[in-house]
Amino acid sequence: MATSAVSNLPESRQCGSYPQNPWYLVKSKPTQEEVAKSFLNEIGVDVLLPQYVSDKSSKRKPFFPGYLFASFPQELYWSANKAIGVHRIVHFGMNPAIVPFEVIAQINARMLKNGLIDLPMAAEMRFHAGDTVQVVDGPFRGFHAVFDCSLSAGDRVRVLLDTVSRMPVEVGRHDVMLI
């Protein structure tokens, strides 16, 4: 039975083992993860923005493009939601998406001292022809597809959408997830 890494269910934990402020999932404006992090830090929000360096470039890239994690008390909710670079705090229905402390701890455990994700975790982002994926962002969000190939420097991929026939479409590499 699979469980979601993000839920609204209260987490069971040992007394005093975690900070008191919950971690929220924050959607940034396109390519503004660093801007959002900076402005959230300015208002006193703890931010986790995992990054990696690709094989083809020495440029830092967000491990979860378009998303970051933020921990803050309830009284900073509206300020955090309206911070520059932030699109919105992700919600499930009327409740903000709370990221379990265990997930944050696992991400932190995989981060190196320079703030980059350990490369074995980054390697998990690779897809192979024939892999079943789901489109998680963009106009084809929610569709299941079959991974076909990587395109142009690895930031775009071609998938075959499971519709009436297998229709080839191009999407961002980070807009699909393995299922």
Nearest to 174 by CA among 70, 62, 13: 62
- Residue 54's pLDDT is 66
Let me know: does 38 contact 85? Beta carbons within 8 Å: yes
- All domains of the chain, ordered by start, with CATH? 23-123 (3.30.70.940), 132-178 (2.30.30.30)
Region 99-115: what's the mean pLDDT? 86
Angle at 91 between CA 48 and CA 147, to 5 degrees: 75
Q: What percentage of residues in the chain have a pLDDT greater than 90? A: 34
Residue range 19-46, pLDDT digits in tens: 579 999 999 999 999 999 999 999 999 9
* Cα–Cα distance measured from residue 127 to residue 131, given in angstroms and rounded to the nearest whole number: 7
pLDDT > 90? residue 69: yes
User: Given this model, what pLDDT does residue 90 score?
Assistant: 94
pLDDT score for 10: 42
Give the mean pLDDT of 54-69.
81
Instruction: Look at residues 24, 33, 32, 29 and name the one whose alpha carbon lies nearest to residue 6.
Output: 24
Is the C-alpha dihedral spanning 37, 81, 105, 173 positive or negative? negative
pLDDT, one tens digit per residue, over 145-171 is: 898 888 765 678 888 887 666 778 888
The answer to whether the beta carbons of residues 43 and 78 sit under 8 Å apart is: no
Of 137, 44, 139, nearest in space to 83 by CA: 44
